[in-house]
Amino acid sequence: MNKRIFIVFSVIIILILLPVVGLVSLERIINILGNRPGEVFFDDYHIRVRPACLNGYPDGPSDSCVLIINDIHTPAIRDTLVYYPQEGSSLSIFISDAHKWTLVDDRGNNHCTSHFLDAHNDRGDSFEVEKTVQSVLTLEEPVGLSCFTLWGAHMNDESPYYLRLLFSSRRMKRGISKKAASVNVGAQTITWEYSNQYNYAILSDRSSAITDTLRWMRSSFPYNSWSFIMVGDTIVIDDQRSERPSCFSPLVVRNADDLRNQYPKGYKASIILEQIGAVVPVTYIEFSDKQPLFSKETIRVSTGYLASSPLEGRKMNEHFFQKHLFVRKE
């Protein structure tokens, strides 16, 4: 009898611990997959990438990525760049003649030796691309993917410059568009499609001709949820999560903090259904990611009035387009 009780007790303990052990093992597998080293050749540089993704550890995220850089003509001399990202941050490297690297850090931090590189840091909010810049590298850790990616572009055409994926520390499938949801808004149809890297809001007219494409980065749910507002045919987005869109309609990019000050409870809570003390008719489009396990993505459309126009306030169009000169191409 005692032996039978012991077996039952042991089975219960195993069943209790199994999910925990499974999660730990899964986390370790993800970290291993996200730490795959590699090397790339870009311009005259040989770059070895050594990522260290440690998400999920008790002390919190301590991710880093090391780039070991050689000039292919003088391989004996090398420099080392170490990058420590924050969530959603990126490091842009603007490359000019004579091994000049300008490091533009977006909320992360980095350290670089200078044996043959003339490397210096610049602030991301004030940097402007100079005519001497010939190419650009972007090192980032995509939100929720537990890996590092390295992108590259050559500035031999007019902007936007399309970044090509040079390396991913986790084998990522190329983008294949999948349809999530669709809704009619007046004479337009809005379709939500997504790939491994991006969410897309595709606007088309009655003849099915595409009139606009808006885009935001894809991540783990519920972070794929997104929204924008329309005043007439003018699309209003904020500068926080939006990537550079291709738009043919009028577009206003507003400062995200300024919008929060203007609408402290958000667009959705500020819209009223009847024109009482509000004078600006608007259409609010909300993309809601699936919350329960077996639910579907949805697009919700609300119409009403705002007390103040979202077209007014701190506009970020020029700054936004400057910052998004470099577009990731799947």
Q: Are residues 75 and 207 in the same domain?
A: no
Which among 308, 220, 304 is positioned nearest to 264, based on CA atoms? 308
Residue 52 lies in a domain: yes
119 within domain boundaries: yes
Number of other residues whose CB lies within 10 A of the CB of residue 131:
7
Q: What pLDDT digit, counting tens, does each position of 72-104 carry?
A: 998 899 999 999 987 767 899 999 988 999 999
Report the distance separating Cα 71 and Cα 77, nearest Å.
7
Q: For the chain, how many structural domains are there in total?
A: 2
Say if 41 falls within a structural domain. Answer: yes
Query: What pLDDT, on the 0 to 100 scale, is given for residue 16?
Result: 63
Q: Tell me, yes or no, whether 161 and 48 share the same domain.
A: yes
Domain shared by 192 and 299, yes or no: yes
Residue 173 lies in a domain: no
**Whole-number pLDDT of residue 296:** 86
Pairing of strands 100-106, 118-123: parallel
- pLDDT, block means (10 residues), the chain with 330 residues: 61 58 47 78 96 65 87 92 84 92 86 94 76 92 79 86 89 73 92 88 90 86 84 91 85 94 91 83 92 82 93 91 82
Q: Is 102 exposed, middle or buried (0-12, 13-18, 19+ CB in 10 A)?
A: buried
- 234 shares its domain with 152: no
Buried b (16+ CB within 10 A) or exposed e, 184-211: eeeebbbbbbbeebbbbbbbbeeeeeee
Do 98 and 228 belong to one domain? no
**186 shares a domain with 136:** no
pLDDT of res. 18 = 52
Show which of 139, 168, 197 is a domain's final residue: 168
Please give the biggest Cα pair distance in the chain.
Answer: 84
pLDDT for the residue numbered 313:
93
CA distances from 104 to 129, 135, 137 (A): 11, 14, 10
Q: What is the pLDDT of residue 126?
A: 66
Whole-prediction pTM: 0.74
**Where are the alpha helices (H) located in the chain, listed in sequence order?**
2-33, 256-262, 266-270, 317-323
**Which of 118, 139, 168 is where one domain is finished?**
168
Of 147, 168, 189, which marks where a domain is finished? Answer: 168
End-to-end CA distance of the chain: 63
| Residues 195 and 328 sit within 8 Å (Cβ to Cβ) | no
Q: Tell me what pLDDT residue 22 has.
A: 44
Same domain? For 215 and 308 the reply is yes
pLDDT given for residue 17 in this prediction: 53
Asked if 112 and 84 count as a contact pair (C-beta separation under 8 A), the reply is no
Residues 313, 183 within the same domain: yes
The gap from C-alpha 49 to its chain's centroid, in whole angstroms, comes to 21
Residues 160 and 186 in one domain: no
Q: Could you tell me if residue 7 is inside a domain?
A: no
Q: Could you read off the pLDDT of 153-174 as tens digits, one per residue?
A: 999 877 888 899 999 887 766 6
* Half-sphere exposure in the Cβ direction for 323 (13 Å, CA): 21
Dihedral sign (CA 40, 46, 52, 53): negative
Burial of 296 (0-12, 13-18, 19+ CB in 10 A): exposed
If asked whether residues 201 and 310 sit together in one domain, one would say yes
**pLDDT score at 21:** 44
Residue 147 sits in the same domain as residue 189: no
pLDDT of residue 4: 63
Question: Looking at the domain assignment, is residue 25 inside a domain?
Answer: no
Q: What is the pLDDT of residue 128?
A: 75
Tell me: do 128 and 215 sit in the same domain.
Answer: no
Domain that holds residue 41: 35-168
Is 67 domain-assigned? yes
Is residue 22 situated within a structural domain?
Answer: no
Model pLDDT, residue 150: 95
| Residue 54 pLDDT | 74
